[in-house]
Amino acid sequence: MADITVATINDLRQRTNAGMMDCKKALIDTNGDIDAAIKLLREKGLAIQVKRADKESKEGTIKALASDDGTVIGMAEVNTETDFVAKTDNFKNFVDAVTRTVLAGVEDISAAMKEGLMTIVAQTGENVKIRRSARYVLSGAGQVASYIHMGGKVGVLVEVGCGKAETATSAAFNELVHDLTLQIAAAAPRWLVPEEVPAEVVEAEKDIYRNQLAEQKKPANIVESILKGKIQKFYSDVCLIHQPFVKEPKQSITDVVKACEKATGDAITIKRFVRFQLGAS
């Protein structure tokens, strides 16, 4: 067995911030090999994460990064337990590394960031999670754009298409895309169009309204007419294209898109969007 000196233990402590006894045991287990001991302690950092997994990780941050040409955007949400840790440079650097990995198109983010995750868990002593990520690659003419709201509490990606390449660089189109990111961040639509809403969700809404109308004993045809209006109102709450525009509620997002089409003389399509809210499902 190698001679495990106090100096060696202190060196390992300085390099890992691990406890004295943990460092001593790691050195014993690795026969004094300090690099192997560091690796072992980092592996134990992952064990710490698992052990602390019962603690909710609802703090953290959401970050987005774009490629140099703006045709690819990656966004990631990384959670930790406390806002204090979320504001540290070590955590911010880890989130940046995760987001760059997403932007690069790496499929298995967790595997790619395993070493970095073990390190940040060991550094913070908190349960850190790479919760989710999204990556948009522009297809055809148009733009992909991101918006981070409230210092990383809400993040949005959107892709908007157009028919002509010159439209994508016009002031009207740029304003529309920016306004859409603001809309999604503020109004939190769940779907783009009514066709995307699951049938069971629509039926559940109808059941709620039917129960509300049951005591009024209205004729069936009247009830169905009321239900139709209620569902349209539901769509205006949850579907982006039917939502009132946050800057001018008298207009819908469909109206705003049509106005941009008129200004550019081009057909415009909101292709997709995603919205992350820190700690929310």
DSSP 8-state secondary structure symbol assigned to residue 129: E
Q: Is the pLDDT of residue 103 over 60?
A: yes
- 3-state SS assignment for residue 96: helix
Number of compact structural domains in the chain: 4
Higher pLDDT, 26 or 191: 191
By the 10 Å C-beta count (0-12 exposed, 13-18 middle, 19+ buried), 113 is classed as buried
281 and 145, same domain (yes or no): yes
Beta bridge partners of 80: 59
Q: Which of 8-22, 93-107, 135-149, 163-177 has the lowest mean pLDDT?
A: 8-22
DSSP state of 227: H
Domain that holds residue 66: 56-137
* Average pLDDT across the chain, whole number: 91
Q: Tell me the pLDDT band of 210, cut-offs 50, 70 and 90.
A: confident
pLDDT of residue 255: 98
Say which residue the tokens 């059941």 belong to: 207
- pTM summary value: 0.80
What is the rounded radius of gyration, in angstroms, for the C-alpha atoms of the chain?
26
Report pLDDT for 157: 98
Residues 241/254, Cβ–Cβ less than 8 Å: yes
Is residue 45 a part of any domain in this protein? Answer: yes
Cα–Cα nearest to 278, from 159, 184, 156: 156
Q: Is the pLDDT of residue 48 over 60?
A: no
Domain identity same for 202 and 227: yes
Would you state the pLDDT for residue 1? Answer: 58
19: pLDDT confidence band, cut at 50, 70 and 90? confident
Alpha carbon distance 274, 189 (integer Å): 9
CA distance 155 to 274: 8
pLDDT at residue 46 greater than cutoff 60:
no
Identify whether residues 211 and 274 lie together within a single domain.
no
Share of the chain above pLDDT 90, in %: 67
221-247 confidence digits (pLDDT tens): 888 888 999 999 999 999 999 999 999
Q: In the chain, helix, strand, coil percent, each to 5?
A: 55, 20, 25
Same domain for 62 and 126? yes
Same domain, 87 and 179: no
Contact 263, 156 (CB under 8 A): no
- The confidence band for 51, taking pLDDT boundaries of 50, 70 and 90, is low
* Same-domain pairing of 151 and 280: yes
pLDDT for res 36: 86
Same domain, 275 and 186: yes
* Same domain (yes/no): 184, 243: yes
Which residue would you say has higher pLDDT here, 277 or 55? Answer: 277
Q: Which residues pair with 112 in a beta bridge?
A: none
The verdict on 207 and 270 lying in the same domain is no
Answer yes or no: do 22 and 85 share one domain.
no
pLDDT band at 55 (very low <50, low <70, confident <90, very high): low
Encoding tokens for residue 223? 């009830």
User: Which residue, 162, 49, 166, 176, is CA-closest to 113?
Assistant: 49
Using an 8 Å Cβ cutoff, are 16 and 38 in contact?
yes
Q: Are residues 233 and 269 both part of a single domain?
A: no
User: What is d(CA 179, CA 251) in angstroms, rounded to the nearest whole number?
Assistant: 13
Distances (CA, A) of 62 to 147, 152, 180: 10, 5, 18
Is the model's pLDDT at 85 over the cut of 90?
A: yes
